[in-house]
Amino acid sequence: MTAFFQNFVGLPYEWAWFVATLVGILVIALPLMLAVAMIIYADRKIWAAMALRRGPNVVGPFGLLQSFADGLKVFLQETIVPAAANRGLFILAPIITFTVALIVWAVVPFQVGVVLADINVGLLYVLAASSLGVYGIILAGWSSNSKYPFFSAIRAAAQMVSYEVAIGFILISIVLWAGTFNLSGIVEAQRGVLGTPINGFFLNPLLFPMAIMFLISSLAETQRAPFDLTEAESELVAGYQTEYSSMSFALYWLGEYANVILMCTLNATLFWGGYLPPIDMPFLFFFPNIVVPGIIWLFAKILFFFFVFSWVKATVPRYRYDQLMRLGWKVFLPVSLFWVFLVSGVLMWTRVGF
């Protein structure tokens, strides 16, 4: 795109790069906002179907416009900042959550070569950005100057920091196998795992347990059920969002779902082949000239994982906090640490020899 702005619009290189990057950001962020609105609708529909209800069905055809109606409602509400709140941080906190949920998308590859920033530390960038996510919540809890949000913030901080450790180790075993931190490189490394035409690290018996652990950890990292202790309404009112209203509340709402979509994307990209088709066998398809674009496969995988997230939310009861911490520190951490050891041992044996 930089070349386009350079040659056809006639901008100097630096400005062409600047404009091209800006356009790229908008091309990713605006559809993402739309996707968040629709995915909230999908979440409510799936949840309702599992509870034998109808879900939103009034606003627009099949209730499709429900999220937009909700958005309009919160937009027209008054923003209330509690008198005892720490005003600046109170307003800053939802902005941080929302921004952090968006910035990770810069390194997600949507197709071969279609990625905003193809940096060689892609996965580390993802980890760094997701570790920033905790600040939005911790600041909301503290600056609200209220008991329940504060409890919630403390819970959220402990939970996210604990599961990030496990996620880090899980990602290391992926990186060891793929040999690169670059997300496009990791997707390409999943082409034809173990000599089979199937794409995706999940087929590898050594990495499959990691795929399951990553799915569970990503539930904990996004604070979805069964790990939604930060918003446990029976204990903490609405958790860290208790004092929020209007657009600042909506930003949390959007940020949370953007994070969920992001975690689904990471699951799809890291373990299930990303933009690659599930099976790499051209002769199986009846129309060899029609190639399904990679972005369609990626979206299909994202939607599948989102369905799993909703499914879990609709069916699994909430964990107790000590069980959550036990799972993170006493189960996932040792197992993933051992797995790093195992994977590197196997790789040494097969690729380098003794």
Partner 1 sequence: MIQAFAFYLFAIVVLLSGAMTISSRNPVHSVLWLILAFFNAAGLMVLVGAEFIAMLLVIVYVGAVAVLFLFVVMMLDIDFAEMRAGFVRYAALGLALAVALVCEIFIGIGAWSAGGIDLARRAAPVDPAIPNIQAIGNLLYTRYLFVFEGAGLVLLVAMIGAIVLTHRERKGVRGQNIARQVARRPEEATRNMRPEVGQGVQL
Find the part of the chain contacting partner 1 (CB under 8 A) among 26-34, 149-157, 193-201, 245-253.
Answer: 149-157
Residue of the chain from 90, 163, 181, 272 that contacts partner 1 (CB under 8 A): 181
Say how far apart CA 324 and CA 350 lie, in whole Å.
37
Find the part of the chain contacting partner 1 (CB under 8 A) among 55-63, 130-138, 285-293, 305-313.
Answer: 130-138
Nearest approach in angstroms of CB 352 to partner 1 is 12
Say how far apart CA 259 and CA 98 lie, in whole Å.
9
Sign of CA dihedral 119, 122, 128, 134: positive
Residue with smaller CB distance to partner 1, 133 or 273: 133
Size of the chain in residues = 354
Outline where DSSP puts E strands in 111-202: none
Find the part of the chain contacting partner 1 (CB under 8 A) among 38-46, 136-144, 272-280, 287-295.
Answer: 136-144
> Which helix (H) or strand (E) is 193 found in, with range?
none
Residue of the chain from 164, 221, 231, 256 that contacts partner 1 (CB under 8 A): 164
Tokens, residue 245: 């209203």
- Cβ atoms of 136 and 114 within 8 Å: the answer is no
- Cβ atoms of 181 and 351 within 8 Å: the answer is no
The radius of gyration of the chain's CA atoms, rounded to the nearest angstrom, is: 22
Residue with smaller CB distance to partner 1, 48 or 127: 127
Three-state SS at 299: helix
List residues bridging with 279 in a β-sheet.
198
Find the part of the chain contacting partner 1 (CB under 8 A) among 98-106, 119-127, 200-208, 220-228.
Answer: 119-127
Helix%, strand%, coil% for the chain, nearest 5: 70, 0, 25
Residue with smaller CB distance to partner 1, 15 or 208: 15
Site residues for partner 1, 9-28, by CB under 8 A, read 14, 17-18
Nearest approach in angstroms of CB 132 to partner 1 is 6
Is 139 near partner 1 (CB under 8 A)?
Answer: yes
Residues that bind partner 1 (CB under 8 A): 14, 17-18, 89, 119-121, 124-125, 127-128, 131-132, 134-135, 138-139, 142, 150, 154, 157, 161, 164, 181, 322, 326
